[in-house]
Amino acid sequence: MKKSVYIIGSKGIPAKYGGFETFVEKLIEYQVSKEIQYYVACMRENSAKSGITADTFEHNGATCFNVDVPNIGPARAIYYDIVALRQAIKIAKENGDKEPIFYVLACRIGPFIGAIKKEIKKIGGQLFVNPDGHEWLRGKWSLPVRKYWKFSEKLMVKHADLLVCDSENIEAYIQKDYRQYAPRTTYIAYGTELSKSILTTGDERVRQWFESKGLTEDNYYLVVGRFVPENNYESMLREFMKSDSNKDFALITNVEENSFYERLKQETGFDKDSRIKFVGTVYDQELLKYIREHAFAYFHGHEVGGTNPSLLEALASTKLNLLLDVGFNREVARDGAFYWKKNELHEVINKVEGLTQQDIAEKDKISTEQVTTRFSWELIVEAYEQLFEEKS
């Protein structure tokens, strides 16, 4: 009998966006083991975007089950995880699964997990949890929500049979802050694609994008990510404005109806610097890969979280990477990047513009090797399959 693994906490597959959604998609896409059967909880509205309306459906060999989630505001994600997990337990009972694994992505449902864990134990199952990053530190949350996140994380750690951390820093934090629970942890990183873009300089959608944004290949700095305070956009904008660079700074992010954008515009005056260009979002993955490959350098200011997907993509694609000097980023890139303090980025920008092509090529080679040897999806999926099979 195959080992049943139920995955709870992503919006679902086929993946449209998001780190956890991409992770689940790749876990299924790159599956090698014939001993594992995946079951994936999906938000019905997410499935509907792909034209899927059935209660259950197959995707790349995985059994997906849709969950209806009412629009109840901030508590919606909590409701979804609880209902999805209970539905997964119900399916496991109906299937007569032996020692099923329930893998919950993120720590949203801590106050409710104790009762659910009892149900899991009754059927001989195990609860695995991916604690994600320091969600309770994110600037977008109010103080009460941050307190909920921290409390919820504590209870998820307490009740988990195993915590799968995608960052060594997160694993160390779990072991230190929750040592009273003697948590069982393991480290399996996030992954990324290694293939180059299939697009070329002359492709129509390449030329149309670059011309419409006023950019030229290899003559811009790039950042891709959510426009939120903890990703240090303010530091990047202020420091770039202080630099001597003649290159552009392209920001691929969504700033519609964003009060943070308006505040930064007033406080920094970045809109008066013609080098700074907010270019919207890019959902065409081949085009986005091409844009990464042809940036002069990539900025990464993420301060909260584990192994960040956008950082891995940059290390795989972009020749030079300039990263905020925090443990998460050093853990991933090691000596394959340059690092900056919040008030010193302008100095790093001026420095890297003096590099020779040989210097740049050497850094590019190191960063690509880091990703290839540690973060390819093949390696990550292999590690997960070994883990799930060991627990059978």
Strand order, beta sheet including 56-59: 56-59, 62-67, 36-43, 3-8, 101-105, 126-130, 162-165, 185-187
In a domain, 54, yes or no: yes
Phi and psi, residue 253, nearest 5°? -165, 160
The answer to whether residues 38 and 184 belong to one domain is yes
Verify that 368 and 273 share a domain, yes or no. Answer: yes
Does residue 323 lie within any of the structural domains? Answer: yes
- Whether residue 332 is contained in a domain is answered as yes
Q: Per-residue pLDDT for the chain (392 aa), expressed as one digit of tens each?
A: 799 999 999 998 876 667 899 999 999 999 999 999 999 999 999 898 889 989 999 999 999 999 999 988 878 989 999 999 999 999 999 999 999 999 999 999 999 999 999 999 999 999 999 998 666 556 666 677 778 888 999 999 999 999 999 989 899 999 999 999 999 999 999 999 899 999 999 999 999 999 999 999 999 999 998 898 889 999 999 999 999 999 999 999 999 878 899 999 999 999 999 999 999 999 898 999 999 999 999 999 998 766 788 899 999 999 999 999 998 899 999 999 999 999 999 999 999 999 999 999 999 999 999 999 999 999 999 999 999 998 65
Residues 380 and 325 placed together within one structural domain of the fold: no
Q: Identify the domain containing residue 293 by its residue range.
A: 204-374
197 assigned to some structural domain? no
Question: What's the pLDDT tens digit per position in 53-82?
Answer: 899 999 999 999 999 999 888 789 899 999
pTM above 0.95, yes or no: no
Cα gap 167→341, rounded to integer Å: 21
- Domain membership of residue 222 (yes or no) is yes
Q: Which of 124, 128, 184 minimizes the C-alpha distance to 8?
A: 128
Q: Is there a domain that residue 198 lies in?
A: no
Q: Are 194 and 372 in contact (CB under 8 A)?
A: yes
Mark whether 128 and 213 lie in a shared domain: no
Structural domain count, the chain: 2
25 and 105 belong to one structural domain = yes
Same domain, 384 and 294: no
Do the beta carbons of residue 382 and residue 32 sit within 8 Å?
Answer: yes
Structural domain contains residue 233 = yes
Based on the domain organization, do 354 and 386 belong to the same domain? Answer: no
Residue-wise pLDDT for 185-206, tens only, equals: 999 999 998 999 999 999 999 9
Token couple for 392: 């059978």
If asked whether residues 269 and 169 sit together in one domain, one would say no
Which pLDDT value is given to residue 40? Answer: 97
- Say whether both 279 and 167 belong to one domain: no
CATH of the domain at 270: 3.40.50.2000
Q: What one-character DSSP code corresponds to residue 294? A: T
Residue 216, domain member (yes or no)? yes
Do 380 and 370 sit in the same domain of this protein?
no
Cα(371)–Cα(379) distance, integer angstroms: 10
CA gyration radius for the chain?
22
**Are both 154 and 261 inside the same structural domain?**
no
Positive or negative: CA dihedral 69, 72, 76, 78: negative
Work out the number of other CB atoms within 10 angstroms of the CB of residue 350.
Answer: 13
163 plus 215 within the same structural domain: no
pLDDT computed for residue 14 by the predictor: 79
The pLDDT score that the predictor gives to residue 133 is 66
d(CA 13, CA 147) in angstroms, rounded, equals 31
Res 305: pLDDT: 66
pLDDT of residue 138: 64
